[in-house]
Amino acid sequence: MTTEFTFTEQARHGSARICRGCWDQMHMPIPIGGPLALPFRALGITRSKMNPDICTICERSFQYVKKQRQITVDATILFADIRGFTDLSERIEAVRLSEIVSLFQDRCAQAIWAHDGIVNKQMGDGLMAIFNFPIIRKDHASAAIGAAREIQRNCAAALGGLTLDALPLGVGVGIHSGEVQIGEFSSFRSDFTAIGGVVNQAARLESQAAAGEILISAETAAKAPELAADAETRMLTLKGIEQPVQARVLVKR
């Protein structure tokens, strides 16, 4: 599926005038910016919390958009969290802790949106992002790696002053690419999510990433060879996965 609209390339996150998800998925122009968006806003159709360049139709009406309960999508999944947060949460005061979580979530979201991903889930000091749905990005592996590098830069700047046992507070990122199931997997929620082995493996990779590291799977590296060329290779044993998994380690630069 391609779009004839060139604005998508130039758009900054949050500046799209029509929903990029509805356009990419249905070729339907849903205004989300400018005066044409006003009547839609009155109907409750606004910018999505997952990404301000998509709308609440994309977010909450998956079955309307796709005419199916679930679809299989070749996508890239990114997990990120604050390393040592459990330890940190025992030591610092509550208000400071919540400031750190807010800083982390906001800086990560900016990085993910800048590369056309969506923040699908936020879980305390962690999050999950999807690349290639609903905004189509054929180069979703590269987009996710770009977002991860920006997450590391943004968070280093935002959290840089803070230390844990004299080490600077840092973020770990895990990325994996492949076929995921996207749909609504609960009868009482209306927001879509992604499930499947690829999602779980991305989460496992993230759990093994040290502060400042981005661990990408061999599958993601193969889709973005130019970005993984100088990356160290590391063999990992991941919970729930029988064979050792080869990962590539990207570090801050």
The footprint of its own copies (CB under 8 A) covers: 44, 49, 52, 69-70, 72, 84-87, 89-90, 94-95, 97-98, 101-102, 105-106, 109, 121-125, 128, 181, 183, 185-190, 193-197, 199-201, 204, 238-242
Least CB distance to its own copies at residue 107 (A): 10
Least CB distance to its own copies at residue 195 (A): 5
Complex with its own copies: residue 69 or 252, whichever CB lies closer: 69
Complex with its own copies: residue 58 or 228, whichever CB lies closer: 58
The CB density around residue 52, as the number of other CB atoms within 10 Å, is: 18
Complex with its own copies: residue 65 or 228, whichever CB lies closer: 65
The verdict on whether omega for the bond into residue 134 sits within 30 degrees of 0, i.e. cis, is yes
Least CB distance to its own copies at residue 216 (A): 18
Complex with its own copies: residue 61 or 89, whichever CB lies closer: 89
SS3 readout for the chain: CCCCCCHHHHCCCCCCCECHHHHHHHCCCCECCCCCHHHHHHCCCCECCCCCCCEHHHHHCHHHHHCCCEEEEEEEEEEEEECCHHHHHHHCCHHHHHHHHHHHHHHHHHHHHCCCCEEEEEECCEEEEEECCCCCCCCHHHHHHHHHHHHHHHHHHHHCCCEECCEECCEEEEEEEEEEEEECCCCCCCCCEEECHHHHHHHHHHHHCCCCEEEEEHHHHHHCHHHHCCCEEEEECCCCCCCCEEEEEEECC
Least CB distance to its own copies at residue 2 (A): 26
Least CB distance to its own copies at residue 185 (A): 4
Least CB distance to its own copies at residue 102 (A): 5
Classify residue 165 as exposed, middle or buried by CB count within 10 Å of its CB (0-12, 13-18, 19+): exposed
Least CB distance to its own copies at residue 159 (A): 14
Complex with its own copies: residue 52 or 250, whichever CB lies closer: 52
CA 152 – CA 167 distance, rounded (Å): 16
Complex with its own copies: residue 102 or 163, whichever CB lies closer: 102
Complex with its own copies: residue 21 or 227, whichever CB lies closer: 21
